[in-house]
Amino acid sequence: MTTSKRYCLYVDGAMVRRVSGIGQAHEILLRLGDSMRPGECRKYQVRLGDNVVWEGELEASSGPEEVN
């Protein structure tokens, strides 16, 4: 019998969502970055139990660049 590991995504110290892995957490963080105001910054962690497996700072996405 195999059990899947469930990771938890935390933003600014609050649990946001349970995720299946780093890839899913990355997708959620990208969407969150798109919705943030310019200059806004948040800290995130992905935890497996009490262990932090990935952490960093999330900054607002700059948005698409204009091409002339």
- Residues whose CB falls within 8 Å of the CB of residue 4, separated by 6 or more in sequence, listed in order: 20
Residue 12's contacts (CB-CB under 8 Å, 6 or more residues apart) are: 42, 43, 44
**Taking 60 as the threshold, does the pLDDT of residue 63 lie above it?**
no
User: What pLDDT band is residue 3 in, cutting at 50, 70 and 90?
Assistant: low
Number of C-beta neighbours around residue 7 at 10 A: 21
What is the C-alpha to C-alpha distance for residues 24 and 12, in angstroms, rounded to an integer? 18
Q: What is the mean pLDDT of residues 30-34?
A: 91
pLDDT higher than threshold 70 for residue 14? yes
The phi, psi pair for 31, rounded to 5°, reads -65, -40
